[in-house]
Amino acid sequence: MPLSDHEQKMLDQLEQALAAEDPKFASQMQGSGLASLQRRRWVLGALGVLAGMGLVLVGVNTTMWVGAVGFAVMVAAAVFAVTPPRKVAFGVVREGGGVEPHHGRGRRTKKGGSIIDRLDERWERRENRW
């Protein structure tokens, strides 16, 4: 039985609130999109390793530089395959129910401020939000 429009809207708001409150848990619960992305990375990495191995074999018969490029391609493809994909940042839920995009680590209000200043500023924002 499908959810009504009101129930779907409530579920969406709950998901957004959970994502804003605990993004790590929410990303773990999302899972399926990340699994397909990781699988794609494995396949592309395997193809890159095979292409690099082919270049190494060609380099054995021709010049050393082709083999060196093939080895570099193999290493880069293997590193690409084993590194985890970047996680999608969730937005911050506002009082009216709207969502503001999450700016992540790159957002700083004071450049060059100490870590204590930044923590104090975060605490003040949190207090003002409630």
Q: Provide the 3-class DSSP secondary structure of residue 117.
A: helix
Say if residue 98 is exposed, middle or buried (CB neighbours under 10 Å; 0-12, 13-18, 19+).
exposed
Strands of the chain, DSSP E = 92-93, 99-100
Over the stretch 9-56, which tens digit does the pLDDT of each residue have? 888 888 888 778 877 777 766 655 667 778 889 999 999 999 999 999
pTM summary value: 0.45
pLDDT of residue 61: 92
Residue with tokens 């700083």: 108
Over the stretch 67-124, which tens digit does the pLDDT of each residue have? 999 999 999 999 999 988 765 555 555 656 565 665 555 444 445 568 888 888 888 8
